[in-house]
Amino acid sequence: MTVQLGSQRQGLDDTKRRILVEAGIVLAIALFLILVMPALLPSFWLNSLGRFLALGIVALGIDLIWGYTGLLSLGHGVFFTLGGYALAMHLKLQIPPTASIQLPEFMSLYGVTELPWFWKPFYSFPFTFLAIAIIPAIVAGILGYLIFRNRIRGVYFSILTQATTIIFFNFFNGQQKLFNGTNGLTDYKTLFGLDVNKPAAQSLFYGLTILFLVLAYALCRWLTSGRFGRLLVAIRDDESRVRFTGYDPTGFKVLVFAISGALAGIAGALFTVQTGIISPNSMNIAFSIEMVIWVAVGGRATLVGAILGTLVVNFARSLLSVKFPDIWLFFQGALFLIIVLALPNGLMGWFREQGRDLFLTLSGQRRTTTYPSLEEDPEVEYERKNLGD
């Protein structure tokens, strides 16, 4: 009895230690990114890095819903853009009190004289801050509830989320008076009294991006490690069985979809403020599918993989599309094919399955193990010689 208790305690200590080690590593990487990176990279690449890290937050959200729960959402661009618009509306309302027209400048172009009612709450920063995460979460929650309660899943879910992107795209594109239509919201001035375009503000946003990325990683890690995470994986692998064991997957799926939408919203806001523009274009079909491929490249159902994949694909894109703009689409298409056909578990999956073995074997730390009886079997030897392994 005592022995058992002791081993349990030791087990607990073990997990605790492992969590501490992981937290330490994450913290070290975050500090490295915040303190050392700005000195190493020219400002263009630093800005890119900041934006791609923001995209990494969406990738975490997609990993949560696709990698762990098995629901392929092709509509995360919507949540991303909603978050971006929420912050952009707050930024557009930073009008100096001396200005003659207390409206965002595009509105007066379209003859709007009074601020539409739903713009008004965005004067307040705390509201905006909440809205960035909560509006996408609510939209995702409603959509998810309407789809999941009917047990619509698989490809149908993907198609419906993809249609959602078109719908929102059309809606934002068509409303010139409310959202400036195709042009989107751009030309931001100040936030917290800081000039948004000054390097000081930009490095603040860079730091915030890393902070939120770490928080999002911690949240996803927490969600996926416990009972909840196991339930998600169970839903992915055999939803019917989950149902037969007495769970109702609908609520869990809606919750995960909403959380994932909220993460996308946060990412959208951070991306917007570093890019300087948000427009309905980020709700086109292609962008949302691209997000999925980031996760696939890194390795689905691995949180680190999601972030890594985002960085790899986006930096590859920046490098390639500058030099060979024509080739990028070929490359991207090939990426989809290669990942799906040859590397279904992505870079992290490859590393876990084969890379580590390969590394150990190559560095001479481990010999290939065999069964001794097989070594002595003449028939096996014969086959090995003539047919290969």
Partner 1 sequence: MIASILDGVFSGLSIGSILLLAALGLAIVFGLMGVINMAHGELMMLGAYTTFVVQNAFKAFAPGLLETYIFFALIAAFFVAAIAGLILERGVIRYLYGRPLETLLATWGVSLILQQFVRSMNWVLVVAIALFCLLFFGGKWLLQRQAQFQQLRGWANALLITLSAAITIALSTLLSQAFGLAVTKPWFGAQNVDVTAPAWLRGGLPMGNYQLPYARMFIMALTVLCVVGIYLFLQRSPWGLRIRAVTQNRSMSSCLGISTQKVDALTFALGSGLAGIAGCAVSLLGSVGPNTGQNYIVNTFMVVVVGGVGKLVGTIVGGLTIGVIDYIIGAGVLALLASSIKPVADFFIFFSSTSMAKVMVFFLIVVFLQFKPAGLFPQKGRSVDA
Give contact residues for partner 1 (rule: CB under 8 A): 66, 70, 72, 143, 146-147, 149-152, 154-156, 158-160, 162-164, 166-167, 170-171, 173-174, 240, 285-286, 289, 292-293, 296, 326, 329-330, 332-337, 339-341, 344, 387-388
Least distance (Å) between residue 69 CB and partner 1: 12
- Shortest approach of partner 1 to residue 166 CB, angstroms? 5
Identify which of residues 76 and 221 has a Cβ nearer to partner 1 in the complex.
76
For the record, the structure tokens of 36 come out as 């050392």
Identify which of residues 176 and 186 has a Cβ nearer to partner 1 in the complex. Answer: 176
Reduced to 3 states (helix: H, G, I; strand: E, B; else coil), residue 170 is helix
Least distance in angstroms from the C-beta of 150 to partner 1: 4
Between residues 191 and 289, which has the closer beta carbon with respect to partner 1? 289
Closest approach, Cβ 153 to partner 1, in A, equals 9
CB of 232 to partner 1, least distance (A): 16
> Please, are residues 91 and 297 in contact by the beta-carbon 8 Å criterion?
no
How far CA 335 is from CA of 57, 71, 134, 297, 342, in Å, comes to 21, 21, 34, 8, 10
- Considering beta carbons, is residue 63 or 128 the nearer one to partner 1? 63
Helix (H, G, I), strand (E, B) or coil at 180: coil
Least distance from partner 1 to the Cβ atom of residue 96, Å = 34
Nearest to 290 by CA among 7, 30, 80: 80
Q: At closest approach, how far in Å is the CB of 217 from partner 1? A: 24
Q: Quote the DSSP letter at residue 377.
A: -
State the residue for tokens 């490859």.
Answer: 350
Q: How many CB atoms lie within 10 A of CB 232?
A: 26
Tokens of 271: 């991306």
Nearer Cβ to partner 1 (41/152):
152
Q: Which is nearer to partner 1, 129 or 336 (CB)?
A: 336
- 123 vs 9, 130, 262, CA distance in Å? 52, 13, 21
Report the residue number, 33 or 65, with the smaller CB distance to partner 1.
Answer: 65
Of 264, 96, 102, 92, the closest CA to residue 180 belongs to: 92
Angle value at C-alpha 34, between 31 and 37, nearest 5 degrees: 110
